[in-house]
Chain A
Amino acid sequence: MSTRIESLRDALVAQFGDKVRATIALGELTIEVSADDYHDISLALRDHADTPFEQLIDLCGVDYSTHTSRSEGLRYAVVVHLMSVAANLRLRLRTFAADDGFPVVASVNDVWPAANWFEREAFDLYGILFAGHGDLRRLLTDYGFVGHPFRKDFPISGHVEMRYDPDTKRVIYQPVTIAPREVTPRVVREENYGDVGHG
């Protein structure tokens, strides 16, 4: 399996040159491309002669702003998981949106129709805009929701809560009344802490 992934990596690097940055970790191949090349490379991957990645399995947004090892650099990324049914291979494709204040990435909805809802979800949760999508509405959050809840600066308890107001006899929104708390603190230990592996 690993040799097949290595040969796929070599083939992709040979085809796209320095447009892609390929890494293999944990038996999975990841290629990083710039936002400009993202759509063209997606199309080339789908129509590849030997290993056509005809299935888009997953597409999601990632907010790297508080990541301990990547806090420098661009904030929003789109991660796509592709699968080739013909060649039985998987591939991860990552691209960073160029502008943190206004993240825009090309839509791959025309390459894989499956991307439609995944891109709507990433827009909803992270505020990443997909240029050329055509129907970029919110998907999971409430009608009229304000903000993008999966961004790292969005509190886990949200900004508003909903309740029935007996005076006005309707459902109203009000600022949240619960205070955020952290039961188990987030701890990052030194490298190889505990030395887990093949136990």
Chain B
Amino acid sequence: MAEIRNYTMNFGPQHPAAHGVLRLVLELDGEVVQRADPHIGLLHRATEKLAETRTWVQSVPYMDRLDYVSMMCNEHAYCMAIEKLLNLDVPERAQYIRVMFDEITRILNHLLWLGAHALDVGAMTVFLYAFREREDLMDAYEAVSGARMHAAYYRPGGVYRDLPDTMPQYQANKFKNADAIKRLNENRSGSMLDFLQDFTDRFPRYVDEYETLLTDNRIWKQRLVDIGIVTPERAKALGFTGPMLRGSGIAWDLRKKQPYEVYDRMEFDIPVGTNGDSYDRYLVRIEEMRQSNRIIRQCIDWLRKNPGPVISDNHKVAPPSREAMKGNMEELIHHFKLFTEGIHVPSGECYAAVEHPKGEFGIYAMSDGANKPYRLKIRAPGFAHLAAMDEMSRGHMISDVVAIIGTMDIVFGEIDR
């Protein structure tokens, strides 16, 4: 009989399936994982400490860079924490815009997760398909905020500005003639809401395409079914949230259970899994994309009918308009104080959480009355999920480790912070 040797192996931090900078020390018995020890922190930027030295508003762009595939959801939790401490109301239209962009972000995140997960497991095509749709949604990001990814669009008290009436158009160039450009610009002729409406009309069919490629695919099922099973009890004990918890069969969604903004007026369903394996979590996330699409449509309908302010008119928190600032002494002072000194948040502490695409993203903010946070703790969902890596991968083959990393939806921006 051949001698079986045990190995300790380094997986990453330069491995393409490690989703960034994960260093995983695997203790192997043959090809079977005995122990997995993730070493994280290679992307640690001390965001929480940096936030202590910046004013409250200056930290909003840092939030984009936490989970850099679901930018606006991070901002959302941060702004909600500030609003809670200030006891500040957000205009209704801003709440609808936030809900709409949260769901756009969810689709963006799940598309990247789906593409990367499939790529890790060996299916190339889905990745290309997913990025085709991401392009449209990132155009929506760009239209409202000017940035394709790091938007800094949500502000304490609302959102930075109202939705634009026009979408940017493609210009003719030496690679595309006028006819091709006209076709490309067809769905961009109206407002941003028209563009999104067109997207939501098309999107369910795209999800069907992904499902055709994967759901009944024999190889996909061989790689995912019964891999990384988590029982509901363990999922709760390990601090799982979001699709990881729902995949194990617990119908828990903050949007339903502890609704924030206008989620209580939205109609949508929470998908749950039955076995708690990677395949169930895949199905849960696919269904979440369809539900997000439903929510976006409801928001579009409401936003079309109800114009109004999108940011608080309290100028101790939100800046006054340019015209008011130029023509009115008081607003000029407000503007000056706001941008030199920042918001003063009353002494206290609060925890605000949103249903982030990956799970519960929470901000624990503590203020001692200054214009800067005293302590900011970012509760990243991926942190708790990756901590369970050892338990989930134990006894699996080394190739399953890749599938388990994929199913966790790991992004190092939020885990290392």
Judge whether A25 and B349 touch: CB under 8 Å. yes
- The complex places the Cα of A113 from the Cα of B387 at a distance, in Å, of 9
Contact A112 B371 (CB under 8 A): no
Q: Let me know if B44 and A141 touch, CB within 8 A.
A: yes
A167 proximal to B (CB < 8 A): no
A79 interface hit (Cβ, 8 Å):
yes
Contact A88 B257 (CB under 8 A): yes
Q: Is A57 an interface residue (CB 8 A)?
A: yes
Contact of A68 among B258, B312, B369 (CB under 8 A): B369
A contacts with B: majority SS: loop
Chain A residue nearest to B84 (CB atoms) is A26
Given contacts A81-B351, A196-B316, contact A58 B379 (CB under 8 A): yes
With both beta carbons as reference points, the residue of chain A lying nearest to B44 in the complex is identified as A140
Interface presence of A34 (CB below 8 A): no
In the complex, what distance in Å separates the CA atom of A138 from the CA atom of B416? 13
B374-A67 in contact (CB<8A): yes
Q: Is B229 in contact with chain A by the CB < 8 A criterion?
A: no
Interface pair A149/B368, CB less than 8 Å apart: no
> Nearest B residue to A124 by beta-carbon distance?
B41
- Which of A30, A55, A196 makes the CB contact (< 8 A) with B87? A196
A60: interface (CB < 8 Å): yes
Assuming the contacts A79-B364, A81-B351, A196-B87, asked whether A140 and B41 have C-beta atoms less than 8 A apart, the reply is yes
- CB-nearest residue of chain B to A88: B257
B290: interface (CB < 8 Å): no
Of all chain B residues, which has the CB nearest A143? B39
CB distance from B27 to the nearest CB of A (A): 14
How many whole Å from A101's CB to the nearest CB in chain B? 21
Q: How many angstroms from the CA of A85 to the CA of B257 in the assembled complex?
A: 9
B residues less than 8 Å from A58 (CB atoms): 351, 362, 364, 377, 379
Chain B positions within 8 Å of A149 at CB level:
46, 49
Are A114 and B250 closer than 8 Å at their CB atoms? no
Selected interface stretch from A14-22, A35-43, A182-190: A182-190
Contact of A186 among B40, B157, B353, B370 (CB under 8 A): B370
Interface range for B: 35 or more
Q: Is B55 an interface residue (CB 8 A)?
A: yes
Within 8 A of A (CB), among B368-411: 368-372, 374-375, 377, 379, 383-384, 386-388, 391
Q: Known: A58-B364, A189-B369. Is A26-B258 also a contact (CB below 8 A)?
A: no
Q: In the complex, which residues 305-352 of chain B have their Cβ closer than 8 Å to any Cβ of chain A? A: 312-314, 316-317, 340-344, 346-351
Q: Which of chain B's residues has its CB closest to A26's CB? A: B350
Residue of A nearest to B359 (CB): A57
- B266 close to chain A: CB less than 8 A: no
A34-68 contact mask (Cβ, 8 Å, vs B): 1 or 0: 00000000000000000000111110101100011
- B12 in the interface, Cβ–Cβ < 8 Å? no
Task: For chain A, residues 48 to 105, give those with C-beta under 8 angstroms from any C-beta of chain B.
Answer: 54-58, 60, 62-63, 67-70, 79, 81, 85, 88, 90, 92
A161 at the interface (CB under 8 A from B): no
Tell me whether A160 is interfacial, beta carbon within 8 Å: no
Contact A199:B364 (CB < 8 A) given known A56-B239, A186-B372: no
**What 20 additional pairs, Cβ within 8 angstroms, besides A63-B375, A199-B89?**
A28-B351, A30-B349, A54-B236, A56-B239, A57-B362, A112-B237, A140-B416, A141-B41, A141-B44, A150-B46, A156-B53, A184-B55, A184-B58, A187-B341, A187-B370, A188-B369, A196-B314, A196-B317, A196-B343, A199-B316
For the complex of A and B, 10 pairs with smallest distance between CB atoms: A199-B314, A114-B239, A194-B316, A140-B41, A117-B387, A58-B379, A60-B377, A68-B368, A140-B44, A197-B87
Q: List 20 A-B contacts (CB under 8 A).
A: A26-B85, A26-B350, A28-B350, A55-B236, A57-B360, A58-B351, A62-B366, A62-B375, A69-B368, A81-B364, A81-B379, A85-B236, A114-B237, A114-B387, A184-B342, A184-B372, A196-B346, A197-B87, A197-B88, A198-B87
